[in-house]
Amino acid sequence: MPRARSRYAPDRGLTGRMVTTMFLIGLLYVVFVGVLLAALRGSWPIILIITGGMFIAQFWFSDRIAAYGMGAREVTPEQAPELHGTIDRICALADMPKPKVAIAESDVPNAFATGRSEKTALVCATTGLLRRLEPEELEGVLAHEMSHVAHRDVAVMTIASFLGVLAGIITRIALWGGFARSRPGNDPAGILLLLIPLISAVVYAISFLLTRLLSRYRELSADRAAALLTGRPSALASALTKVSGQMARIPTEDLRKAEPYNAFYFMPAFSAKESLGRLFSSHPTLEQRLDQLSRISTDLSR
Protein backbone atom coordinates (compact mmCIF):
# COMPACT_ATOMS: atom_id res chain seq x y z
CA MET A 1 0.00 0.00 0.00
CA PRO A 2 1.24 3.53 -0.76
CA ARG A 3 2.52 5.48 2.19
CA ALA A 4 0.30 8.24 3.56
CA ARG A 5 1.11 11.83 2.59
CA SER A 6 3.47 13.70 4.92
CA ARG A 7 2.28 16.31 7.40
CA TYR A 8 3.82 19.11 5.39
CA ALA A 9 1.11 21.54 4.32
CA PRO A 10 0.05 20.73 0.74
CA ASP A 11 0.54 23.50 -1.80
CA ARG A 12 -1.84 23.34 -4.74
CA GLY A 13 -0.18 26.39 -6.25
CA LEU A 14 3.15 24.58 -6.33
CA THR A 15 1.58 21.42 -7.72
CA GLY A 16 -0.15 23.39 -10.47
CA ARG A 17 3.04 25.20 -11.39
CA MET A 18 5.02 21.95 -11.49
CA VAL A 19 2.46 20.29 -13.77
CA THR A 20 2.32 23.34 -16.06
CA THR A 21 6.09 23.63 -16.21
CA MET A 22 6.54 19.95 -17.01
CA PHE A 23 3.87 20.11 -19.73
CA LEU A 24 5.44 23.16 -21.39
CA ILE A 25 8.95 21.77 -21.05
CA GLY A 26 7.78 18.46 -22.54
CA LEU A 27 6.12 20.25 -25.44
CA LEU A 28 9.26 22.30 -26.01
CA TYR A 29 11.33 19.11 -25.90
CA VAL A 30 9.18 17.41 -28.55
CA VAL A 31 9.36 20.46 -30.84
CA PHE A 32 13.12 20.74 -30.39
CA VAL A 33 13.80 17.08 -31.17
CA GLY A 34 11.39 17.28 -34.11
CA VAL A 35 13.34 20.17 -35.61
CA LEU A 36 16.60 18.28 -35.14
CA LEU A 37 15.17 15.20 -36.86
CA ALA A 38 13.92 17.30 -39.78
CA ALA A 39 17.23 19.09 -40.16
CA LEU A 40 19.48 16.08 -39.68
CA ARG A 41 17.47 13.39 -41.40
CA GLY A 42 20.39 11.07 -42.01
CA SER A 43 21.44 11.18 -38.40
CA TRP A 44 18.11 10.55 -36.67
CA PRO A 45 19.19 7.29 -34.96
CA ILE A 46 22.16 9.08 -33.37
CA ILE A 47 19.95 11.99 -32.26
CA LEU A 48 17.39 9.68 -30.66
CA ILE A 49 20.09 7.67 -28.88
CA ILE A 50 21.84 10.79 -27.59
CA THR A 51 18.68 12.61 -26.45
CA GLY A 52 17.15 9.49 -24.94
CA GLY A 53 20.37 8.47 -23.22
CA MET A 54 20.93 11.94 -21.81
CA PHE A 55 17.36 12.13 -20.51
CA ILE A 56 17.73 8.81 -18.70
CA ALA A 57 21.11 9.85 -17.29
CA GLN A 58 19.70 13.21 -16.20
CA PHE A 59 16.78 11.59 -14.38
CA TRP A 60 18.69 8.76 -12.69
CA PHE A 61 22.09 10.29 -11.97
CA SER A 62 21.80 14.09 -11.89
CA ASP A 63 21.03 14.19 -8.16
CA ARG A 64 24.14 12.15 -7.38
CA ILE A 65 26.24 14.28 -9.70
CA ALA A 66 24.93 17.47 -8.08
CA ALA A 67 25.58 16.16 -4.58
CA TYR A 68 29.10 15.14 -5.58
CA GLY A 69 29.72 18.51 -7.22
CA MET A 70 28.67 20.31 -4.04
CA GLY A 71 30.97 18.14 -1.93
CA ALA A 72 28.30 16.24 0.01
CA ARG A 73 29.72 13.47 2.20
CA GLU A 74 27.25 11.13 3.87
CA VAL A 75 27.70 10.97 7.64
CA THR A 76 26.53 8.58 10.35
CA PRO A 77 24.71 9.51 13.58
CA GLU A 78 27.99 8.95 15.44
CA GLN A 79 29.84 11.39 13.17
CA ALA A 80 27.17 14.14 13.28
CA PRO A 81 24.80 13.50 16.21
CA GLU A 82 23.30 17.02 16.31
CA LEU A 83 22.56 17.08 12.57
CA HIS A 84 21.02 13.60 12.66
CA GLY A 85 19.02 14.51 15.76
CA THR A 86 17.53 17.55 14.03
CA ILE A 87 16.62 15.50 10.94
CA ASP A 88 15.05 12.85 13.18
CA ARG A 89 12.83 15.46 14.88
CA ILE A 90 11.69 16.87 11.54
CA CYS A 91 10.92 13.38 10.19
CA ALA A 92 8.83 12.67 13.30
CA LEU A 93 6.95 15.95 12.92
CA ALA A 94 6.35 15.41 9.21
CA ASP A 95 5.77 11.63 9.38
CA MET A 96 8.37 11.07 6.66
CA PRO A 97 11.06 8.43 6.17
CA LYS A 98 14.53 9.65 7.06
CA PRO A 99 16.67 10.76 4.12
CA LYS A 100 20.39 10.23 3.83
CA VAL A 101 22.24 12.87 5.83
CA ALA A 102 25.39 14.55 4.56
CA ILE A 103 27.83 17.34 5.32
CA ALA A 104 29.75 19.46 2.80
CA GLU A 105 33.11 20.91 3.82
CA SER A 106 32.50 24.54 2.87
CA ASP A 107 32.57 27.82 4.74
CA VAL A 108 29.63 29.04 2.63
CA PRO A 109 26.66 28.78 5.04
CA ASN A 110 24.08 26.77 3.12
CA ALA A 111 22.04 23.58 2.83
CA PHE A 112 20.44 21.63 0.00
CA ALA A 113 18.38 18.55 -0.80
CA THR A 114 18.64 16.19 -3.77
CA GLY A 115 16.88 13.02 -4.85
CA ARG A 116 14.16 11.77 -7.19
CA SER A 117 11.96 10.61 -4.31
CA GLU A 118 11.83 10.17 -0.55
CA LYS A 119 13.67 6.86 -0.90
CA THR A 120 16.64 8.42 -2.71
CA ALA A 121 16.60 11.77 -0.91
CA LEU A 122 19.70 13.33 0.60
CA VAL A 123 19.76 16.40 2.84
CA CYS A 124 23.08 18.16 3.29
CA ALA A 125 24.32 21.06 5.41
CA THR A 126 27.66 22.80 5.00
CA THR A 127 30.13 23.09 7.84
CA GLY A 128 29.75 26.87 7.54
CA LEU A 129 26.03 26.60 8.25
CA LEU A 130 26.43 24.18 11.16
CA ARG A 131 29.00 26.47 12.76
CA ARG A 132 26.91 29.64 12.51
CA LEU A 133 23.31 28.67 13.32
CA GLU A 134 21.58 28.04 16.61
CA PRO A 135 19.70 24.69 16.95
CA GLU A 136 16.24 26.19 16.31
CA GLU A 137 17.55 28.09 13.27
CA LEU A 138 19.14 24.94 11.88
CA GLU A 139 15.86 23.09 12.38
CA GLY A 140 14.05 25.73 10.32
CA VAL A 141 16.56 25.47 7.47
CA LEU A 142 16.47 21.67 7.40
CA ALA A 143 12.66 21.66 7.58
CA HIS A 144 12.75 23.92 4.51
CA GLU A 145 14.95 21.40 2.66
CA MET A 146 12.81 18.45 3.75
CA SER A 147 9.81 20.27 2.31
CA HIS A 148 11.44 20.09 -1.13
CA VAL A 149 11.64 16.31 -0.68
CA ALA A 150 8.05 16.01 0.52
CA HIS A 151 6.68 18.12 -2.34
CA ARG A 152 8.91 16.33 -4.89
CA ASP A 153 9.87 19.62 -6.51
CA VAL A 154 13.57 18.65 -6.46
CA ALA A 155 12.88 15.93 -9.04
CA VAL A 156 10.74 18.28 -11.13
CA MET A 157 13.46 20.95 -11.17
CA THR A 158 16.03 18.34 -12.19
CA ILE A 159 13.97 17.17 -15.16
CA ALA A 160 12.83 20.68 -16.11
CA SER A 161 16.39 21.95 -16.31
CA PHE A 162 17.38 19.13 -18.68
CA LEU A 163 16.16 20.70 -21.92
CA GLY A 164 18.29 23.83 -21.63
CA VAL A 165 21.39 21.70 -21.17
CA LEU A 166 20.38 19.44 -24.04
CA ALA A 167 19.80 22.38 -26.40
CA GLY A 168 23.35 23.60 -25.98
CA ILE A 169 24.95 20.16 -26.31
CA ILE A 170 22.94 19.14 -29.39
CA THR A 171 23.78 22.45 -31.07
CA ARG A 172 27.50 21.86 -30.61
CA ILE A 173 27.15 18.31 -31.92
CA ALA A 174 25.19 19.51 -34.94
CA LEU A 175 27.64 22.28 -35.84
CA TRP A 176 30.99 20.68 -35.01
CA GLY A 177 30.34 16.99 -34.54
CA GLY A 178 30.25 16.05 -38.21
CA PHE A 179 26.46 16.04 -38.73
CA ALA A 180 26.62 19.20 -40.83
CA ARG A 181 27.51 18.64 -44.46
CA SER A 182 27.67 21.04 -47.34
CA ARG A 183 24.22 21.27 -48.87
CA PRO A 184 22.84 23.16 -51.84
CA GLY A 185 21.74 26.66 -50.97
CA ASN A 186 18.10 25.90 -51.83
CA ASP A 187 17.97 22.70 -49.75
CA PRO A 188 15.28 23.11 -47.04
CA ALA A 189 17.22 20.79 -44.75
CA GLY A 190 20.27 23.00 -45.13
CA ILE A 191 18.22 26.01 -44.11
CA LEU A 192 16.88 24.14 -41.09
CA LEU A 193 20.42 23.22 -40.12
CA LEU A 194 21.41 26.86 -40.16
CA LEU A 195 18.45 27.66 -37.91
CA ILE A 196 19.43 25.15 -35.23
CA PRO A 197 21.59 27.61 -33.21
CA LEU A 198 18.77 30.16 -33.22
CA ILE A 199 16.15 27.57 -32.25
CA SER A 200 18.43 26.24 -29.51
CA ALA A 201 18.88 29.73 -28.10
CA VAL A 202 15.10 30.23 -27.99
CA VAL A 203 14.58 26.82 -26.40
CA TYR A 204 17.22 27.55 -23.77
CA ALA A 205 15.75 30.98 -22.98
CA ILE A 206 12.20 29.63 -22.58
CA SER A 207 13.26 26.65 -20.44
CA PHE A 208 15.46 28.94 -18.33
CA LEU A 209 12.60 31.35 -17.62
CA LEU A 210 10.15 28.52 -16.86
CA THR A 211 12.49 26.88 -14.36
CA ARG A 212 13.35 30.22 -12.72
CA LEU A 213 9.67 31.08 -12.23
CA LEU A 214 9.00 27.67 -10.73
CA SER A 215 12.12 27.83 -8.57
CA ARG A 216 11.22 31.16 -6.97
CA TYR A 217 7.75 29.94 -6.07
CA ARG A 218 9.00 26.63 -4.69
CA GLU A 219 11.38 28.44 -2.33
CA LEU A 220 8.52 30.52 -0.92
CA SER A 221 6.44 27.34 -0.66
CA ALA A 222 9.24 25.55 1.25
CA ASP A 223 9.61 28.50 3.65
CA ARG A 224 5.87 28.47 4.29
CA ALA A 225 5.67 24.70 4.77
CA ALA A 226 8.68 24.65 7.11
CA ALA A 227 7.31 27.51 9.22
CA LEU A 228 3.93 25.82 9.58
CA LEU A 229 5.44 22.42 10.38
CA THR A 230 7.81 23.65 13.09
CA GLY A 231 5.50 26.41 14.33
CA ARG A 232 8.50 28.76 14.55
CA PRO A 233 8.63 31.06 11.53
CA SER A 234 10.80 33.48 13.54
CA ALA A 235 13.59 30.89 13.74
CA LEU A 236 13.59 30.44 9.97
CA ALA A 237 13.52 34.21 9.48
CA SER A 238 16.48 34.53 11.83
CA ALA A 239 18.39 31.88 9.86
CA LEU A 240 17.64 33.65 6.56
CA THR A 241 18.86 36.98 7.91
CA LYS A 242 21.98 35.48 9.45
CA VAL A 243 22.93 33.44 6.36
CA SER A 244 22.31 36.39 4.03
CA GLY A 245 24.48 38.65 6.17
CA GLN A 246 27.28 36.09 6.39
CA MET A 247 27.44 35.67 2.59
CA ALA A 248 29.10 39.09 2.29
CA ARG A 249 31.99 37.85 4.44
CA ILE A 250 32.71 34.75 2.37
CA PRO A 251 35.75 34.94 0.02
CA THR A 252 34.77 35.66 -3.59
CA GLU A 253 36.50 32.50 -4.83
CA ASP A 254 34.34 30.30 -2.59
CA LEU A 255 31.16 32.06 -3.70
CA ARG A 256 32.03 31.61 -7.36
CA LYS A 257 32.45 27.87 -6.81
CA ALA A 258 28.99 27.74 -5.20
CA GLU A 259 27.12 29.89 -7.75
CA PRO A 260 26.51 27.11 -10.34
CA TYR A 261 24.48 25.20 -7.72
CA ASN A 262 22.34 28.12 -6.53
CA ALA A 263 19.09 26.47 -7.67
CA PHE A 264 19.67 23.71 -5.09
CA TYR A 265 20.73 25.90 -2.18
CA PHE A 266 18.69 27.27 0.71
CA MET A 267 20.17 30.71 0.03
CA PRO A 268 21.81 31.71 -3.29
CA ALA A 269 25.50 32.60 -3.25
CA PHE A 270 26.62 35.54 -5.36
CA SER A 271 30.22 36.56 -5.90
CA ALA A 272 29.39 40.26 -6.26
CA LYS A 273 26.57 42.61 -5.35
CA GLU A 274 26.14 43.53 -9.00
CA SER A 275 26.25 39.94 -10.19
CA LEU A 276 24.06 39.34 -13.24
CA GLY A 277 22.82 36.23 -11.42
CA ARG A 278 20.76 38.42 -9.12
CA LEU A 279 18.63 39.53 -12.07
CA PHE A 280 17.75 35.92 -12.90
CA SER A 281 17.95 34.47 -9.41
CA SER A 282 16.45 31.07 -8.67
CA HIS A 283 15.26 32.47 -5.32
CA PRO A 284 12.89 35.26 -4.27
CA THR A 285 14.45 38.25 -2.52
CA LEU A 286 15.24 38.15 1.18
CA GLU A 287 12.59 40.83 1.75
CA GLN A 288 9.90 38.68 0.11
CA ARG A 289 10.81 35.67 2.20
CA LEU A 290 10.92 37.61 5.46
CA ASP A 291 7.62 39.34 4.69
CA GLN A 292 5.90 35.99 4.13
CA LEU A 293 7.31 34.57 7.38
CA SER A 294 6.17 37.69 9.25
CA ARG A 295 2.62 37.17 8.00
CA ILE A 296 2.69 33.50 9.01
CA SER A 297 3.96 34.44 12.48
CA THR A 298 1.09 36.92 12.87
CA ASP A 299 -1.46 34.30 11.77
CA LEU A 300 -0.06 31.67 14.17
CA SER A 301 -0.16 34.07 17.11
CA ARG A 302 -3.90 34.75 16.67
Q: What is the pLDDT of residues 146-201, one digit of tens each?
A: 999 999 888 787 677 666 666 656 555 555 554 444 454 555 555 655 666 666 66
pLDDT of 164: 61
Binding site feature residues for Zn(2+)? 144, 148, 219
pLDDT of 173: 58
pLDDT of 162: 63
pLDDT digits (tens, 9 = 90+) for 35-61: 766 766 666 677 677 767 777 776 777
Cβ-contact 296, 224 below 8 angstroms: yes
Q: How far is CA 126 from CA 23, 26, 51, 68, in A?
A: 34, 34, 34, 13
pTM: 0.81
Confidence bin at 278 (pLDDT 50/70/90): low
Report the C-alpha gap between 288 and 235 in whole angstroms. Answer: 16
Residues designated as active site? 145
Mean residue pLDDT of the chain comes to 81
pLDDT of 182: 47
Mean pLDDT over residues 102-131, rounded? 92
pLDDT digits (tens, 9 = 90+) for 192-247: 556 666 666 677 777 778 888 888 999 999 999 999 999 999 999 999 999 999 98
pLDDT digits (tens, 9 = 90+) for 1-25: 344 467 898 888 998 988 888 888 7
Mean pLDDT over residues 274-284, rounded? 67
pLDDT of 134: 96
Report the C-alpha gap between 9 and 126 in whole angstroms. Answer: 27
Mean pLDDT over residues 89-116, rounded? 93
Binding site feature residues? 144, 148, 219
Listed in sequence order, the residues at least 6 apart from 96 whose beta carbon sits closer than 8 Å to its beta carbon are 6, 8, 90, 118, 146, 149, 150
pLDDT of 276: 54
pLDDT of 266: 93
> Who has greater pLDDT, 122 or 252?
122
Cβ-contact 155, 163 below 8 angstroms: no
- Range in 41-45, 134-138, 256-260 the model is least confident about: 41-45
